[in-house]
Structure 1
Amino acid sequence: MNGAVPGHALTLERLTKRYGGFTAVVDASLTVEQGQFLTLLGPSGSGKTTILMMIAGFVAPSEGRILLDGRDITVLPPEKREFGMVFQGYALFPHMTVAENIAFPLRVRGLARADRDARVRATLDLVQLTQFAERRPTQLSGGQQQRVALARALVFDPALLLLDEPLSALDKKLRAELQEELKTLHRRIGRTFVNVTHDQEEAMSLSDRVAILNHGKLVQMGGPVELYERPRTRFVADFLGKSNMISARVAEARQGGAVLTAGGTRLVQAMDGARAGEAVLLSLRPERITVLTAGETAENVVDGRIASAAFLGAGHSVTVETADLGRLRVTIPTWQASVAPEEGVPLRLGWSADAAAPVADDEDA
C-alpha cells in the first residue's frame, strides 16, 4: 500500500429497488465526496444493506443510477468496479495463511510474484499483522480476522472500500478499539469508505457523514454532530440516542424564536418561522437538561419528582415526573451528583432556549 490512489467520489441518483410487490429502497439520492467516510445507518429492514449491494454491483437497481467520479457504473459487473469489500463474517479462506488470504485478490489479477509479495508485506504492516503472516484464520482472534479481511480488501488499491457491518461480530470493548483503528486507517490511506451498520455509536464515532434510512427511505444525511443536535424528525431523534419528546403549542412568535405552552407550563424556544397557534414537537436530549440548585434559574424551568434512577458509571440516568411535560429523562454526570438520586426526591430542571430541536412528527417529512 503506497497511498498513491486517491479516494473517489460516489453519487447515487434516485436509486430504487423492488422485489415483486415489495420496495426495499425508495428514490435514494446521495453523494460521497472523495476520501469521505460515509455510514449508512438504520434499523433492520431499512434498506441500507440493499444500497450497499447495489453499490457493489451484486444487486441491480430497479431505477436510478450509480456514478463513480461522474461515470455511470450502474450496469458494470462487480469485478469491473474494483471495489474492496469487507463482509460481516469476514469470508476468509480457512485453508490459507494470512499472507495467502491477503494475496488472493492479487493472484486473481495476475500480478507478478515479486510485486504481489511486496504489496502483501506493505499491507500486513498497515494493519499491524506482520508477525501473523503464516498463521491460519482459525489461529487468530476475531479482531485479528477483521484486520485480515480489511487487508485483503485494501491490497489491490480499490477505488472504494465497502464495509458490511464489519464490527458486529466483536464484543463491545474490542469493537470500540477497532473503531478507533479503522478511523485511523481511513485517515492514513485517504480512500473513500462506505460503511453499513445498525449501531448508532459506531456510526457517530467513525463517520464524516451519516445517511439515516428508515423503511427504504433516506430520511436525513449530515455530519454526526449535526444529526444528533438538530434531527429533523422524531425518528432520527429517537434513533440517534435518547431524547425527550415535548408536545407544545406556539403562544407567541418572536424574531428567531417563540413562546410555547405545554399545559400550564411556559417554554421559550429558539426556532425560525414560528406561527401563533401551531403545534410544535421538540426533541430535548437528557444531557441538555440541568438540575438547578436553590437560587439557580434558566430560560426554561420545570419542577418534578424523581420516578426512577439508574447509575451508569459516568452518570446517573434519572426519570423525572412532571405535571405538564410528562416524564423527562435527565442525565446527571457522576461528578455533579453530590448524592445518588433517589426515587421521590423533588427536582427543579432547567434548560436553555436553544437546547431542544423542533422536529417533524412524520418521519417522512
Structure 2
Amino acid sequence: MSAAGHALSLQGIGKRYGDFVAVRDASLEVASGEFLTLLGPSGSGKTTILMMVAGFVEPTAGRILLDGRDITDLPPERREFGMVFQGYALFPHMTVAENVSFPLRVRKLGRAERDTKVRAALDLVQLGRFADRKPSQLSGGQQQRVALARALVFDPALLLLDEPLSALDKKLRAELQEELKALHRRVGRTFINVTHDQEEALSLSDRIAILNHGNLVQVGTPEALYERPATRFVADFLGKSNFIEGDAVVDAGGITLRRGGARVLARGTADGPAVLSLRPEKIVLLPDGAAEDNVVGGRIASWSYLGTGYGLVVETPDLGPIRVHLPAWRAAVAPAEGLPVRLGFSRDAAVAVLEDAA
C-alpha cells in the first residue's frame, strides 16, 4: 500500500439552498499527508464541505483542486476518495474480507491481487484473523476498523471521515482515537475528518478548521486554537472558558482591562471595550501572601468533584462568577461552599478575543 498523500485546495467554495446559505465563501489549503478536522456545532456547514469534497454535493460557488487539478465537476466515482461514514455502512450479508474486497471488485481487479490487498488492509487495522466473520459478529470498534480498511484498500487519494467515532461509547471512542492517529502515521495519507467532538479534534488533528453558521471562523493547530482563540465562539466551543468584559488600554506587556474596581493584565492589542478569555485550568488558588500577575478575591459558590480534579465556581465582587478547575491530587484547600479564596493567574492566561458577528 503506497504512502503518497495528496494536497487539496478549497477556493471560495459555497453552498446555497434557496435562501439558506449552508457554506459561505470557504477557502482552505490541506497539505499532503495532513490530518485536518472540520469542527463545529450541528448546522455549521462542516458536513456540507466534506460532501462537496467527496463530490456528493455540488458547490454553488468556488473551486476544489486536488494537487492543482480542478475536480469541482468531477463525479464522486472518479475522484478515488475513500470514505468512512458515521454508521460504517458495511454489508451485513458479506464477510469482513468480502466487505473490504468490494471496492476492488468494483474496479475489476483480479482475484489474486484482491486477496493480497485485502490481507494487507486487514493487517493494517489488526483484523486479519476476523476475515471470515460477518459484521454482526464484531464489536462497534471492530466494525469501524473494517470500514477504515475498506476505505483504504484501493489506495485512495484522500480519506474522508464523517464522524466515524460518534456511535461508540466514550471509553472505546478514546481508544479508537489513538488507533486512528497511529493509522494515519502508518499510511501517510491525507485525512479530512468531520466531528463536533472537541476532544476528538484536539487529540487527532494536525490542524483544525472551526466553522459556525456556514462560516470558516479560524484555522490552526490544536494548540494555537486553544491557546490563542480569535473569537469568543472559538474560545467557548473549543474547551471551556471564562469571559471577562471591560475597558482595555494597551500597556507595555499587552493590555490592562478594567472592570469595576478590578484590573486584569492580559494578552492582546485591544483598546476600548474588550472581552477576555480565561481558561478555568489556568487559574490557581493562592495561599495568603503569594503573588501573581492577577489576583482576585472571592468565595466558593459551588463545587463538584470530577475525578481528576475539582470544578469550582467562585463568586468575585468585580469579575462576577469565575469557573476554576483544580487538579484533585494537589488542591491547595478542600473545597467548601462559602470558603473565601484568592484566585491567581498570569497575564499569558487571559487573552483578548473578538466578539462574534451577529
The CA deviation at 1:290 is 1.0
Taking the aligned partners of 1:246 and 1:220, their CA distance within structure 2 comes to: 21
1:253 positional shift: 2.6
**Does 2:178 align with 1:180?**
yes
Measure the CA separation in 2 of the matches of 1:324 and 1:69: 54
Q: For residues 242 and 352 of structure 1, what CA distance do their matches in structure 2 show?
A: 18
What residue in structure 2 maps to residue 266 of structure 1?
Answer: 263
Q: Tell me whether 85-94 or 258-267 shows the greater mean CA deviation.
A: 258-267
Q: Does 1:343 align with 2:340?
A: no
Partner of 2:202: 204
**1:271 Cα deviation from its structure 2 partner:** 2.4
Correspondence 1:69-88 to 2 at 5 A: 69-88=67-86
Aligned partner (choices 151, 154, 157) of residue 155 of structure 2: 157
Answer whether contact 2:285 2:332 (CA < 8 A) is retained. Answer: no
Is residue 2:233 matched to residue 1:235? yes
Q: CA deviation at 1:223?
A: 0.4
The DSSP-based 3-state class of the residue aligned with 1:343 is: coil
Q: Percent identity among equivalent residues?
A: 70
> Which of 277, 288, 303 is the matching residue for 1:309?
303
SS in 2 for 1:348: strand
Q: Deviations over 1:47-95 (max 9, x none)?
A: 0000000000000000000000110000000000000000111000000
Map 1:205-224 onto structure 2 (within 5 A): 205-224=203-222
> 1:104 Cα shift?
0.3
Question: Is the 8 Å Cα contact of residues 6 and 67 (structure 2) preserved in structure 1?
Answer: yes
**C-alpha distance in 2, partners of 1:30/1:241?**
23
User: Equivalent residue for 1:322?
Assistant: 316
User: Residues 219 and 363 of structure 1 are in contact (CA less than 8 Å); yes or no, is this contact kept in structure 2?
Assistant: no
TM-score, length basis structure 1: 0.96
Question: Aligned-pair distance for 1:255?
Answer: 2.9
Counterpart mapping for 1:58-97 below 5 A = 58-97=56-95
Distance 2:347 2:172 in 1: 39
In structure 2, give the amino acid aligned to 1:172: K
Q: Is the 8 A contact 2:265 2:350 kept in 1?
A: no
SS in 1 for 2:325: strand
| 2:4 counterpart (3, 6, 15) | 6
Cα contact 1:57–1:77 (8 A) shared by 2: yes
- Structure 2 distance, partners of 1:107, 1:70, is 30
Code of the residue aligned with 2:137 in structure 1: it is Q
Alpha-carbon displacement from aligned partner over 1:288-307 (angstroms, at most 9, x marks no partner)? 11110111011111000000
Mapped pair 1:142 → 2:136: no
1:257 correspondence with 2:258: no
Does structure 1 residue 359 correspond to structure 2 residue 357? no
Q: 1:333 aligns with which of 327, 337, 345?
A: 327
Once residues 238 and 255 of structure 1 are traced to their aligned partners in structure 2, the CA distance between those partners, rounded to angstroms, is 28
Shift in Å at residue 357 of structure 1?
1.2
Counterpart of 2:33 (choices 19, 32, 35) is 35
Distance 1:279 1:181 in 2: 46
The 8 Å contact of residues 234 and 363 in structure 1, kept in 2 or not, is answered as no
Q: Distance in 2 between matches of 1:41 and 1:363?
A: 19
What's the CA shift for 1:5? 4.1
Segments of structure 1 that go 5 or more residues without pairing to the other structure are none
Letter in 2 for 1:215: H
Match of 1:288 among 282, 286, 304: 282
Runs (4 or more) in structure 1 with deviation over 4 Å come to: none
Letter of the 2:181 counterpart:
K
Contact 1:15 1:62 in 2 (8 A): yes
8 Å Cα contact 2:87-2:167 kept in structure 1: yes
- Contact 2:283/2:345, CA 8 A, preserved across alignment: yes
Which 10-residue stretch deviates more, 349-358 or 175-184? 349-358
**Structure 2 alignment gaps of length 5 or more:** none
